[in-house]
Amino acid sequence: MPVHEVRASGREYLALATELLQRARLADTDAGLWEAADVQWWWRTPRRSDAIDQIFWVDDQGPVAGVVLTDWGRAWGCDPMLVPHVSNVLLPTVWARAIEAIDELGLEAVEVLARDDEVELLGLLAGA
């Protein structure tokens, strides 16, 4: 399936992030840190990040990968996300776009959470 990159903000971002996390959970019940309900919960508090373009990769069934940047006040969160076993977008590609977005926004304090078993992401973080 062809995949293309899209940018979205506001409610369109929220819909894509929610669908991405739902697809990820259906593809692998144990993968990832976040649930679709998490981004819905975060949305209840207005943030600067609500208005920025978030990056997603979408196939004909919906989002397969994305970079979610969230303004937590003291620092920004960066969450590279992929649908396991479905996405043909590689994590290094997602991470590279995350770094570009962080640089474009001029963010100084950015936190990335990773599980101990996310070896590829941990390697990318160590190299950043």
Asked whether the beta carbons of 52 and 69 are under 8 A apart, the reply is: yes
Q: pLDDT tens digits, the chain, 128 residues: what are they? A: 789 999 999 999 999 999 999 999 999 999 888 999 999 999 899 999 999 999 999 999 999 999 999 999 999 999 999 999 887 788 999 999 999 999 999 999 999 999 999 999 999 999 88
The phi, psi pair for 90, rounded to 5°, reads -85, 145
Q: Kindly report the pTM of this predicted structure.
A: 0.92
CATH code at position 34:
3.40.630.30
CA angle 99, 102, 104 (to 5 degrees): 105
Q: Looking at the 3D structure of the chain, how many domains does it have? A: 1
C-alpha to C-alpha distance for 27 and 31, rounded to whole angstroms: 9
Domain assignment of residue 22, given as a range: 4-126
Return the pLDDT at 88.
77
- Both tokens of 41, joined, read 């919960």
> DSSP state, 84?
T
Task: Specify the residue for token string 């590609």.
Answer: 93
